[in-house]
Amino acid sequence: MNGLSSVFNLLAYIAAAVFVLGFLNKVVLYFKTPSPLKIPTTPAPKTSMGVVVRLIPEVLFFRSLLKGGITEKILWLGGWVFHVCFLLIVLRHLRFFTYPVPECIMFFQQIGIWAGLVFPLALLILIVRRFLNDRLATITLFADYFVLGLIIAIGSTGLLLKYFARTNLVDVKAFILGLLTLSPVQLPDSPMFLIHFSLVLILLVYFPFSKLMHAWGILISPTRAQVDNPREVRHVTPWA
C-alpha cells in the first residue's frame, strides 16, 4: 500500500470516529439541556404516544414547513426533494459497503441514479432562495452557504464519476470493504474519486458541529416533542 492510501485510510477512520462520537456527544448534550417551559405548539398531543404520532409526518413530510407562505413552500419543496434524494443516493451507495449486496439495496440502484440527477436541482432551489429573499439573505450565515456548497460539490463529483471520469468500481468496493473489515487496502487510482471521497470525509467531520444536527434535534424539539400535560404533571426544571 502506498503512502497516500495509508493517509486516506487513517483519515477515513478519524472522520468516522469524529462523526460517531461527535453525534453521540450532541445527543447526550441535548438530553441534558433542560427545557425550562412547557411550550408545545398547540393543539398538541396529551400522551407520549401522541407525540410519536405527531412527529411521524413531521419527519417524513416536513409538515410544519408546508404551513407558511410562498417562501416556506419553496423551502418545503427544495428541502423535501433534497432529503428524499439524499436518502435514495445513500441507499444506492450501500452496494459499495455490502458483500453480497442484499436484494433490497439492488432495488434502489436505478432510482438512486435518478435521485443523483435531481439532487443538484433541489440544492439549487435551497441556495437560490437564500439570495432572492431579502429577509433570508440577512439571516444567512457563511456556514449555510458552506454546507450547501459542500453537498453540491459531493453530488457533482459523484455525477462526474458516474458519467465522465469513470473509476474502477471493483477497486472502490475493495477499498470500502477494507476499511469496514479493518484491513485497509490501496486507494482506487482515480483523482475524481479522491475528491468525492475527501468531500464526504469533510462532511462527516463537520456534521456534529453544525446545523446539520437538526437531523437529531427535530426529534426532541420542545415545541413539537413535548406532551401537552401542564395540568396533569407539574413541569419542574432542575434549578427550580
**Residue count at the site for ligand HEM (CB under 6 A)?**
23
122 binds ligand HEM (CB under 6 A): no
For position 126 contacting ligand HEM by CB under 6 A, the verdict is no
Q: Of these, 119, 187, 224, 225, which contacts ligand HEM (CB under 6 A)?
A: 119
Distance CA 140, CA 128 (A): 12
- Based on the shown chain and the rule CB under 6 A, indicate whether residue 178 belongs to the binding site for ligand HEM: no
Please answer whether residues 172 and 193 qualify as being in contact, where contact means their C-beta atoms are separated by less than 8 angstroms.
Answer: yes
Q: Which of 15, 44, 203, 225 binds ligand HEM (CB under 6 A)?
A: 203
For ligand HEM, the closer CB: 193 or 227: 193
Q: How far is CA 161 from the centre of its chain?
A: 21
Calpha distance 168→49 (Å, rounded): 49
Tell me which long-range contacts 173-179 makes (C-beta under 8 A, separation of at least 24). Answer: 173/95, 173/96, 173/99, 176/96, 176/97, 177/97, 177/99, 178/9, 179/9, 179/12, 179/13
Residue from 76, 108, 193, 207 touching ligand HEM (CB under 6 A): that is: 193
Q: Does 95 help bind ligand HEM (rule: CB under 6 A)? A: no
b (16+ CB within 10 A) / e for 112-140? beebbebbbebbeebbebeeebeeeeeeb
CA atoms lying within 13 Å on the CB side of residue 109: 10
Q: Quick one: which of 15, 55, 154, 227 contacts ligand HEM (CB under 6 A)? A: 154
150: which 3 cell numbers?
A: 459542500
Q: Quick check: 110 binds ligand HEM (CB under 6 A)?
A: no
Question: Shortest Cβ distance from residue 156 to ligand HEM (Å)?
Answer: 8
Residue 196 lies near ligand HEM (rule: CB under 6 A): yes
Query: Site residues (CB under 6 A) for ligand HEM?
Result: 89, 92-93, 96, 112-113, 116, 119, 154-155, 158-159, 161-162, 167, 169, 172, 176, 193, 196-197, 200, 203
